[in-house]
Amino acid sequence: MQKYKILIFISIAVVILDQLTKAIITHYISLHQSIEVIGGFFNITHVRNPGAAFSLFRDSNEIFRTLFLIGVSMVALIVVFFVYRKIENNLPYRIAMSLIAGGAVGNLIDRIQFGEVIDFLDVYIGRYHWPAFNVADSAITTGVFIAVFSLYGSKNGLFS
């Protein structure tokens, strides 16, 4: 039971931070409004993404898309929990799975509540924009990178 404390603490922290930032954005910034933070590099921009990462499935049937993406999120969470159960002595990998779980739950809440995900972090260089993202997306991406590096590192003695 001790090893699940990391999963619970980090996942809940990610969900709270994700939902709090999204609530602030929706309350104070109108949809499609943009606030420049670092000129030529970073804005806070309130957008909605009905699709998946990089707006995949954005133009598909709304009911199908929402149910499909909720289903994918649920399957991903089940896989993360199954994998987490099997982790023995790899703290970075536990942290990675916890970040992924928290991010998945954060975006799942949006999908269930709104049928789409609230994004607001807008990174760009000049006119070249990265798709807007949120705290949940950041946690998932960070978790994936940590997982890859911890698996690679544990096979090469870096994290064992």
**Global pTM?**
0.88
Q: Give me the number of domains the chain comprises.
A: 1
Q: N- to C-terminal Cα distance for the chain? A: 21
Tell me the pLDDT of the chain averaged across its residues.
89
Q: Is residue 103 part of a domain?
A: yes
pLDDT at 68: 85
55: in domain: yes
Judging by DSSP bridges, how do beta strands 117-125 and 42-49 pair with one another?
Answer: antiparallel
pLDDT confidence of residue 50? 81
Q: What are phi and psi of 7, to 5 degrees?
A: -60, -50
Domain that holds residue 143: 4-150
Contacts of 149 (CB under 8 A, 6+ apart): 92
Chain centre to alpha carbon of residue 140: 4
Asked, for residue 159, whether it belongs to a domain, the answer is no
Task: Please check the confidence at residue 54 and state whether its pLDDT lies above 80.
Answer: no
Among 18, 110, 122, 137, the one annotated catalytic: 137
CB 110 within 8 A of CB 151: no
Cα dihedral 22→31→51→101 (10° resolution)? 0
- The dihedral of CA 70, 65, 132, 24: what is its sign? negative
Q: Write down the catalytic residue from 18, 110, 119, 122.
A: 119
Active site residue 59: no
- Least confident residue range of 51-55, 105-109, 154-158: 154-158
- Residue 16: per-residue pLDDT: 98
Find the range with the poorest average confidence among 11-20, 51-60, 71-80, 131-140. Answer: 51-60
Say what the pLDDT of residue 126 is: 84
Residue 119 a catalytic site member? yes
The reply to whether 156 falls in a domain is no
